[in-house]
Structures are given as structure tokens and as C-alpha cells.
Amino acid sequence: MSLKLIFLGPPGAGKGTQADIISRKVSIPRIAPGDLFRKAVAEHTELGKLVQSYIDSGKLVPDEITINLMRDKLSSPEAKRGFILDGFPRNLVQAEALDRLLKELGIKLDAAIYIGVPFDRLVERSAGRRVCKQCGAAYHVKFKPPRVANVCDLCGGELYQRDDDRPETVRRRLEVYEENTRPLVDYYSRQGLLKRIDGDQPVDKVFSDIQEALGLNNNDQH
Ligand code: ADP
Ligand code: ADP
Ligand code: ZN
């Protein structure tokens, strides 16, 4: 199945969690600039050096860097069969750049999935988030603990806490979201692509709501 999706929503809404489930289910890549930036920082690459200070302070990485990275990913052979953009675009300049790029590549988006979660829940979600060093899978100390403490269920990698998940930085990221990213809800609504999903529900229920919104066949799960 070929699905071309973008995931919108505030930090901690559950985009990565849901995008990961769908990407495994329909075998399409999940393309997440945040993951790619963190990997670059951990590996001390040139890209990592460029982006580290923005990530640490909870600001957006400059558009030019982000758009170039996404152009590479979207033009790659793996993205031919479909993709989930998790965390891109994050402002209007990026959304317009994405529209141009998709036009160039002859690709049409199927939907923009907006995962809404009330503000006060988001700090709690980010504060308890633990991430796999190896595969990037997200866990939560309370809501989604791994089977073995600090070990990824999927790949056995070690879990760690993101530096930018400290409450002060999360609050800064939420402000950045309100100012820059929220306007994209309207942008995709006007394009007729927006699907609003209530993210303040258990992971499985959020997932079944997304499936329903996309018209995916529920029987595939079993
Ligand atoms: P979350 O999933 O909690 O929203 P991400 O992993 O998507 O966090 O993003 C972490 C950080 O990576 C952001 O705070 C920002 O610094 C950077 N980043 C991620 N996506 C983008 C983007 N589209 N444009 C600019 N910066 C980004
Ligand atoms: P995002 O990519 O939008 O920043 P994540 O998918 O990383 O969000 O989820 C943020 C945190 O909340 C993680 O610790 C994750 O395990 C947890 N989480 C995700 N979805 C839910 C949910 N529906 N209910 C409770 N916790 C959730
Ligand atoms: Zn893992």
C-alpha cells in the first residue's frame, strides 16, 4: 500500500508513536527530522554541529538546513512507495517548500494527521518520555514502560532521556509550536487534507481512530 502522510501536533502529542506503528504496518518509511538531527548530533557530524544549539534550546533548526535534509529523504528510492513525515513541516515556509518539492516529484499527499492533546498533558508526556538510542522508539515511564527497564522492546537498545525533554525546554518548544506550527492546521484544512485525531486517549485507541480516518482495513491487524 502506498500512503503519503504528514503528522502534525505539539511536542509530546504521540506523533512518533503513531507514525511508527503505521510505518511498520504498511511498510513505509517514517521520516522524522528530529530523529535525524539527534542522530547527527550523537555522531558529531557536520550537520550535528550545525543543529545542536537549536535543538538544545528548543528552537527550530533553520529552514534551509531542514528543507535540504527533507529534499534528500523525499527524493530517495525508499520514499517512492510512500512515507510518513513526522515533524515536518513545522512552519509556513517549510509547508510551502514541501508543496513545491512534492509538485516537482509528482507526488500527492493523502492526508495530514493532526494529533491534538491538551496543553497540560504535554509536559507530563515529554517529562516521562524515554527514547531508544538505537532505533528511536519512544517509551514512557508511566504510560508505556518497556518490558525490561531501560531496554527497547523492539531492538534491545538502551533507553535515554532527551535533553530537550526537561520541563523548561518543553515549555519553550510548546511556545515555538503555538507560534510557528499551529497555523499549519488551517493550512492543511484549506487543502482538504486535514484529519483531526483526539490524542488524549490510550495509544491503541488513537491508532484505531487514525486507521478509521484513513480508511485502512482493520482486519489487516490480525
Ligand atoms: P517532538 O517529537 O517532541 O516534537 P522532534 O524530535 O520532532 O520533537 O524535534 C526535536 C527538535 O528537533 C525540535 O525542537 C527542533 O529543534 C528540531 N526539529 C525537528 N523538526 C524540525 C523542523 N521541521 N524544523 C526545524 N527544526 C526541527
Ligand atoms: P511526539 O513524537 O509527538 O513528540 P511521542 O510519540 O514521542 O510524541 O510521545 C511522547 C510521549 O508520550 C512518549 O513518552 C510516549 O511513550 C507517550 N505517549 C504517546 N502516545 C501516548 C498516549 N496515547 N497516551 C499516553 N502516552 C503516550
Ligand atoms: Zn530500539
Rounded Cα–Cα distance for residues 119 and 102 (Å):
32
Rounded Cα–Cα distance for residues 202 and 210 (Å):
13
More confident residue, 189 or 216: 189
Q: For the segment 148-195, what is each residue's pLDDT rounded down to a tens digit?
A: 999 999 999 999 999 999 999 999 999 999 999 999 999 999 999 999
Determine if ligand 2 sits within 6 Å of the CB of residue 11: yes
Give the residue among 207, 219, 216, 194 at the shortest CA–CA distance from 1.
216
Please report which confidence band the pLDDT of residue 1 belongs to, taking 50, 70 and 90 as the band edges: low
Radius of gyration of the chain (CA): 17
**110 touches 5 (CB < 8 A):** yes
Q: What is the pTM of this model?
A: 0.95
Amino acid 221: pLDDT: 46
Q: Which amino acid is at 214?
A: L
Amino acid 219: pLDDT: 56
Domain boundaries, the chain: 3-118+181-214
Determine if ligand 2 sits within 6 Å of the CB of residue 140: yes
Please report which confidence band the pLDDT of residue 222 belongs to, taking 50, 70 and 90 as the band edges: very low
Rounded Cα–Cα distance for residues 8 and 15 (Å):
7
* CATH superfamily membership of 3-118+181-214: P-loop containing nucleotide triphosphate hydrolases (3.40.50.300)
* 3-class secondary-structure state, position 141: coil
The residue contributing the CA closest to ligand 2 atom 4 is 12
Please report which confidence band the pLDDT of residue 210 belongs to, taking 50, 70 and 90 as the band edges: very high
Q: Which amino acid is at 3?
A: L
Q: For the segment 114-151, what is each residue's pLDDT rounded down to a tens digit?
A: 999 999 899 999 999 999 999 889 999 999 999 999 99
Q: For the segment 37-62, what is each residue's pLDDT rounded down to a tens digit?
A: 999 999 999 999 999 999 999 999 99
Residue 11 Cα: closest atom of ligand 2:
4
Query: Averaged over 83-109, what is the pLDDT?
Result: 97
Determine if ligand 2 sits within 6 Å of the CB of residue 10: no
Residue 62 Cα: closest atom of ligand 1:
25
Asked if 30 is an active-site residue, the reply is: no
- Strand 83-86 and strand 30-31: the pairing is parallel
Please report which confidence band the pLDDT of residue 218 belongs to, taking 50, 70 and 90 as the band edges: low
* 3-class secondary-structure state, position 140: strand
Catalytic residue among 30, 38, 144, 173: 173
Residue 32 Cα: closest atom of ligand 1:
7
